[in-house]
């Protein structure tokens, strides 16, 4: 009888652990999904830091608030509501804005510039190799700068992302 009780108890424990495992796996999937989606958003503080890093200009939270109130930054989302599965900083409410809208706005306002200019010599990197190239055109699309480059053999490559290019040092950050 004692053995039957232990088997019954163990089966119950396994059932509970399987339910816990299923719950944790579901939460992990949601966490990863929210983590991926969060990459497309930027907070007020991140905007301030980004402007300072990219242009050297200093702005404050009241400027961000005014831009948001005037609708320049698009729809405002509450980070805790939209990304509840992610660990967020404690304290005041954190507003998030879509990067594509914010970066396009910052570019038109002169707060954001491409790292490279037309005729800059750059190193274009693929997964396997790197090529020397010249920037021939730049455009902003969906909140990011896309470059058209020309390789030494006159091959033109369009829609090159900034992360694929290297050139002069940018404050040690690429």
Name the pTM for this structure: 0.70
Backbone φ, ψ for residue 17 (5° rounding): -65, -35
End-to-end, the C-alpha distance of the chain in Å comes to 69
Handedness of CA 51, 55, 59, 64 (dihedral sign): negative
Tell me the helices (H) and strands (E) count for the chain, helix number first: 5, 8
Question: What are the 10-residue block averages of pLDDT along the chain, 174 residues in total?
Answer: 90 94 92 88 90 88 92 87 71 81 90 85 85 89 88 89 71 38
Q: Please give the pLDDT value at position 38.
A: 87
> How many Å apart are CA 103 and CA 73, to the nearest integer?
9
Q: Please give the pLDDT value at position 15.
A: 94
Handedness of CA 50, 52, 56, 58 (dihedral sign): positive
Q: Which two tokens stand for residue 16?
A: 């509970």
Q: Which SS3 state, helix, strand or coil, does residue 63 take?
A: helix
């Amino acid at each position: 009888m004692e053995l039957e009780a232990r088997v019954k108890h163990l089966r119950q424990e396994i059932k509970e652990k399987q339910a816990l495992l299923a719950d944790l796996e579901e939460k992990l999937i949601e966490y990863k999904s929210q983590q991926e989606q969060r990459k497309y958003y930027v907070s007020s503080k991140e905007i301030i830091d980004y402007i300072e890093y990219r242009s050297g200009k200093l702005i404050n939270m009241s400027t961000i608030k005014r831009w948001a109130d005037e609708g320049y930054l698009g729809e405002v989302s509450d980070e805790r509501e939209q990304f509840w599965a992610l660990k967020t900083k404690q304290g005041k409410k954190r507003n998030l804005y879509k990067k594509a809208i914010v970066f396009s706005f910052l570019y038109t306002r002169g707060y954001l510039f491409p790292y490279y200019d037309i005729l800059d010599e750059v190193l274009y990197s693929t997964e396997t190799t790197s090529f020397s190239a010249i920037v021939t055109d730049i455009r902003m699309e969906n909140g990011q700068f896309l470059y058209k480059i020309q390789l030494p053999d006159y091959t033109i490559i369009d829609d090159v992302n900034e992360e694929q290019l290297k050139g002069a040092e940018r404050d040690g950050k690429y």
